[in-house]
Amino acid sequence: MRPVLAWFAFLSLGQAEDWPQWLGTNRDAEWREEGIIARFPKGGPKLRWESKLGAGYSGPAVAKGRVFVMDRLPAEVDPGKGRLLHDGPPPRNINFVRKLLPGRERLVCLNEADGKLLWEHEWDCPYTTVAAYAIGPRATPTVDGARVYA
């Protein structure tokens, strides 16, 4: 598991602008928040909270006081018993997946104020084909009102 630092740590002065999808509200990567500090304090911003998540490349979406992010949790199995999917010399790419990799992917919802888990939805997601890159979800959830698309 990898720790995810609350990248909103410097937003300690009240509720900030929502960032409900990839690249923000208008998908233009512009943050329209007012009153933001111009420079971080010496030693960096104060850490508000952190959360343990599995592997993946999902960016967080923030809406209405909640943080939504996706990750992948590996299954507890002996990797030597996985089904071989490549039957030759291993390629030079160190991220090459050669065996069946059982696991689960999930969407988690965290409280923006303290990082506590509010809910999660997970599903089986075994990797059964050869992948030339590291594993884990790559999409950022999108929040639209009461719906979350992942």
Residue-wise pLDDT for 56-94, tens only, equals 888 899 999 999 999 988 776 555 655 544 444 545 554
User: How far apart are the C-alpha atoms of 147 and 123, rounded to whole Å?
Assistant: 18
* Tokens 């790559």 sit on residue: 138
| Sign, CA torsion 63/64/70/71 | positive
To the nearest 5 percent, what fractions of the chain are helix, strand and coil?
0, 35, 65
Q: What is the pTM of this model?
A: 0.66
| Residues 6 or more apart in contact with residue 89 via CB below 8 angstroms | none
Instruction: Note the pLDDT tens digit of each residue in 122-134.
Output: 998 877 665 555 6
Q: What angle do CA 61, 137, 143 make, to 5 degrees?
A: 25
Give the chain's radius of gyration (CA, Å): 18
φ, ψ (nearest 5 deg) of residue 125:
-150, 70
Element (H, E) at 69: strand 66-74
CA distance 15 to 76: 39
Specify the 3-state DSSP secondary structure of 123: strand
Q: What is the mean pLDDT of the chain?
A: 75
Of 8-22, 32-46, 107-121, 129-143, which has the strongest mean pLDDT?
A: 107-121
Percent of the chain with pLDDT over 90: 23
Task: Give the residue with greater pLDDT, 112 vs 87.
Answer: 112
